[in-house]
Amino acid sequence: MLMKKNYRSERHVPAKDIEACGLFGVMNIEGQKFGALKAIEAIKNIKVRGNGLGGGFAVYGLYPDYKDYYALHIMFQNKDIKAKERTEDFLGEHFEIIFDEEIPTNPQVSLFCPPLVWRYFVAPKKGEAEQAIPDDEYVTSRVMYINSHIEDAYVFSSGKDMGVFKGVGFPEEIAAYFMLDGLYEGYIWTVHSRFPTNTPGWWGGAHPFSILDWTVVHNGEISSYGTNRRFLEMYDYYCTLHTDTEVMAYAVDLLMRRQGLPIEIVAKIFAPSMWDIIEHLPEKEKKLYATLRTVYAPLLMNGPFTVIVAHHHEMFGLTDRIRLRPITAGAKDGFVFLSSEEAAIRHVCPDLDLVWTPQGGEPVVVRLNSKDHLKSLNKSI
C-alpha cells in the first residue's frame, strides 16, 4: 500500500525524530457541532508542552455540503505551482474533482514559510481493472503516491467530511492562520502541540497524522519503535516521516481499519496487561489476552505514550501500560474531553460533571450517542 523506499541496508533508514507534545480532544456525543474555541483555548493553556515548531487540528463534521466526497487537504511546499499542476494532473487522472479551492488564510498572521494549502473534494474514478478495489484502499494508495512521488506536494488529510489543518508554529497561531475560529464547526476537534528536539521546519511534519478519516495525535517516545516499524513493514507500511506517531497511526490503520478490531481489543495489543495479571484472569479472558499478546507482540507500544485517535463517530484516548504519560478525561453534558493535562480541560470547562484519570492501558472510548466513555471511569484511579 505504502511506497517502499529501497535502502542498501536498514542501517540507512533514517533515525526517528524525538519529540514531546501536548494533546487535547473534545467530542460532542450527541453529534452537535461547535467551533474551534475550546480546542484553541485548551491547547494554549498547555503551551509549555509545545515549542512553536508544530501544531495542528483535526475536525470532524467539517464539510456537510460535500460529505459524500473525499476531502483532500493538500499542501504545496514553497507555494510551488508546478507541484500543484502535477498533483492536479494526477488527481484528474484518478478522481472526479467535484470542487476545489484554496484554503483561506489570514495574511496578517506571519508564520515560518507557509505553503500553499488547497482542498479538493473528489470521487474515485476507477478503471476497469480497479472496480473490485474498495474506495478506501483506492484513495489511500493514491494519497501515498502523491506523498512519495510528487515533490513538494503532501496530503494533510483525505477523509470524508473531515479535515486536518496543521503547520509550523504554535497551535493557536495555526488556528489564527487558517481562521479556524469562525470559519469551521465540527463535532470532534483534536489538537496537537509539538515539541520536537530537532527543527524540521516542514509543515507536513506537524500533527495530526492522518489516513482517510483517521487522525492520530500522540505524545511520547516509543522505545519499541524499531520492533513496531519492522512488523508493520511486513504489512507494507513503510515509514517515511520516521516518527512514533507515524508508527502508531499505521498500527491503528492495520488493526482497526484493515483488520476491523475495536479499540477495546487494540488497547490490549498496544498496552497489554502484565503476564502476572493475565494469568489470574478467568479462563476465557486469559486465553483471549494471552493470544492477543503473543500474536501481536511486535505491536506492543513500549515506553511512554499517550494517544488520541479519532475517526467518524469515535474518539479514544489511551496511555501506555505503566502510565508513564498521563491522560485525563472529563465530561460535561454532551461534551467529553481528553487531554494530556487536566488543567487544559478545566480551562475550557471549569464546571465539569466528571473528571478521571484512566489506568495505563485502559482506553477511554468516546462514541456518538453512547456512554461508553464511562466504562473507563469505573476502572480509573
- The residues that touch other proteins, with contacts defined as CB under 8 A, are 8-11, 15-16, 18, 20, 197, 220-221, 223-227, 230-231, 233-235, 259, 261-262, 265, 272, 274-276, 287-288, 291-292, 294-298, 300, 302-304, 321-322, 324
List the alpha helices (DSSP H) in 283-339: 283-295
Q: Among residues 82 and 371, whose Cβ is nearest to other proteins?
A: 371
Least separation in angstroms between CB 207 and other proteins: 17
Whether 239 is a known active-site residue: answer no
Cell of 122: 473528489
Angle at 52 between CA 51 and CA 55, to 5 degrees: 110
Which of 262, 235, 237 has the alpha carbon at shortest distance from 375? 262
Contact present, 44 and 278 (Cβ < 8 Å):
no
Residue 1 sits at the vertex; the CA angle it makes with 157 and 94, to the nearest 5 degrees, is 65
Nearer Cβ to other proteins (81/297)? 297
Q: Compute CA distances 128 → 93, 133, 372, whole Å.
A: 14, 10, 43
CB of 14 to other proteins, least distance (A): 10
Q: Which is nearer to other proteins, 94 or 218 (CB)?
A: 218
Closest distance to other proteins from the beta carbon of 221 (Å): 4
Per annotation, catalytic residue among 21, 113, 239, 349: 21
Beta strands at 314-319 and 364-367: parallel, antiparallel or unpaired: antiparallel
Q: Whose CA is closest to 174, among 54, 71, 78?
A: 54
Q: How far apart are CA 129 and CA 127, in angstroms?
A: 6
**What minimum distance in Å lies between the beta carbon of 254 and other proteins?**
8
Q: Nearer to other proteins by C-beta: 122 or 255?
A: 255
Active-site residue list: 21
